[in-house]
Amino acid sequence: MSLISPGWLALLLPLLALIAAYAVVQRRRTRYAVRFTNLDLLDKVAPHRPGRRRHIPAAAFCAALALLVVGFARPTTEVQVPRERATIVIAFDVSVSMEATDIAPNRFEAAREAALAFVDQLPERFNAGLVPFSGSATVAVAPTTDRAALRTAIEWLSTGQGTAIGDAVIAARGAIRALDARAETEPPPAHIVLLSDGSSTTGRSVEEAAREAAAEQIPVSTIAYGTDEGTITLDTGDTVPVPADGPALEGLAEATGGDFHEAATGEELQAVYEDIGSSVGYRTEEREIWAWFVAAGLIAALAAAATSLLWFSRLP
């Protein structure tokens, strides 16, 4: 929490002086009572007092003043607000290497389940698209708020030969630019999330794609998925190692202002998606919350009045 007009807090100094004066007065009253040595007579002639309850109205009254002073200082807090026209494109590696079983049941199935969960957690107004890529990249679903269409497309994904990471970034960038009639002159806030387990083997270079995305201020967050022990079995029966290539994906993220992540299990991938969703699905705004403090101050003032009337038949 921060304050827009902290100078108003100076009013707390008189309040502290008032509290100190109250404490002094109470101590004097106690001393006067002790000077009256005939305690039996004092008990008969003095009215019954509510004991420590007598401090409650005063405490509530001081709390009300303190809350009102803080309200005058215009406190603010950070809140997350869904981005207007916000767009995210999931670039999903469907190369054959995603069939490696180093992640149960295999990389492809675990990644697909994590992507489906990610789609479900996006804000309703958030546009989301899908670009699967292997030897080439295509826009399977243009950015839309239709979650059913996106889920269906993810569920129908299948693997193929090759890994065209550069083409995937270019295709995702094109889908963002075609979001609506305003996209060319007023680009939407957009983000590309690219998941892959290997290096680019075909298509346009990753460096060229990164330059184009960076020029349009479209960050690409990358996820290196898999372990160094991953292998696949070819139709010939040969076993080929397919370790995850983190450095190449990390370079793409750095060049575009995105984040780089590594995931070696389905649970880790889900956690990465959740982290990305919370950072790109919302923007952080400072909002004034002075009304909360004023309302709390009024409630405290009412409490002071109510307890004082109940116990002393007068207002504080």
Shared domain check, 107 and 56: no
Residue 55's pLDDT is 79
Shared domain check, 47 and 91: no
Beta strands 141-144; 127-133: pairing state: antiparallel
Query: Which residue would you say has higher pLDDT here, 20 or 184?
Result: 20
Residue 270's pLDDT is 82
Shared domain check, 292 and 275: no
Bridge partners, 194 (sequence order): 91, 222
- Dig out the tokens for 242 from the structure: 């397919």
Residue 51's pLDDT is 61
Shared domain check, 293 and 274: no
* Segment 92-113 mean pLDDT: 91
Please name which of 94, 91, 89 lies closest in space to residue 109, comparing C-alpha atoms. Answer: 94
Q: Is the pLDDT assigned to residue 284 strictly greater than 80?
A: no
Query: Which residue would you say has higher pLDDT here, 270 or 45?
Result: 270
Per the structure, the complete domain to which residue 202 belongs is given by 84-280
Q: Is the pLDDT assigned to residue 6 strictly greater than 80?
A: yes
| Number of Cβ within a 10 Å radius of residue 182 | 10
* Segment 213-223 mean pLDDT: 92
Assign residue 203 a region (left: φ > 0; alpha: ψ between -120 and 50; beta: otherwise).
left
Spatial contact of 95 and 160, defined as CB atoms under 8 Å apart: yes
Residue 174's pLDDT is 93
Residue 44's pLDDT is 52
* Segment 130-150 mean pLDDT: 94
Give the type of residue at 217. Q
Shared domain check, 58 and 137: no
Residue 60's pLDDT is 87
Shared domain check, 48 and 88: no
Determine the length of the chain. 316
Furthest-apart CA pair in the chain: how many Å? 109
185-216 pLDDT tens trace? 888 888 999 999 878 889 999 999 999 999 99
17-48 pLDDT tens trace? 888 888 888 777 666 555 555 555 545 555 55
Shared domain check, 135 and 56: no
Ranked by mean pLDDT, which of 108-122, 147-161, 172-186 comes out on top?
147-161
Spatial contact of 303 and 214, defined as CB atoms under 8 Å apart: no
* Segment 217-229 mean pLDDT: 90
| Pure H helices in 52-131 | 55-72, 107-121
Please give the mean pLDDT across all residues of the chain. 85
Shared domain check, 263 and 157: yes
Residue 86's pLDDT is 82
Residue whose structure tokens are 């006067």: 32
Shared domain check, 267 and 195: yes
- Those residues whose C-beta lies under 8 Å from the C-beta of residue 295, and which sit 6 or more positions away, are none
Query: Which residue would you say has higher pLDDT here, 165 or 59?
Result: 165
Residue 280's pLDDT is 67
- Dig out the tokens for 148 from the structure: 């059913």
The CATH number linked to 249 is: 3.40.50.410
Q: Is 89 in a helix, a strand, or coil?
A: strand
- Dig out the tokens for 121 from the structure: 């957690």
Shared domain check, 206 and 265: yes
Q: Is the pLDDT assigned to residue 91 strictly greater than 90?
A: yes
Query: Which residue would you say has higher pLDDT here, 48 or 250?
Result: 250
Q: Cα dihedral angle (103, 104, 106, 108), rounded to 10 degrees?
A: -80
**How many distinct structural domains can be found in the chain?**
2
Least confident of 1-10, 152-161, 263-272: 263-272
Q: How far apart are CA 290 and CA 3, in angstroms?
A: 9
* Segment 99-117 mean pLDDT: 90
Q: Is 215 in a helix, a strand, or coil?
A: helix
* Segment 154-177 mean pLDDT: 94
CA 151 to chain centre: 23
* Segment 88-95 mean pLDDT: 94
Q: Is the pLDDT assigned to residue 113 strictly greater than 70?
A: yes
Shared domain check, 308 and 210: no
Q: Is the pLDDT assigned to residue 234 strictly greater than 90?
A: no
Shared domain check, 65 and 145: no
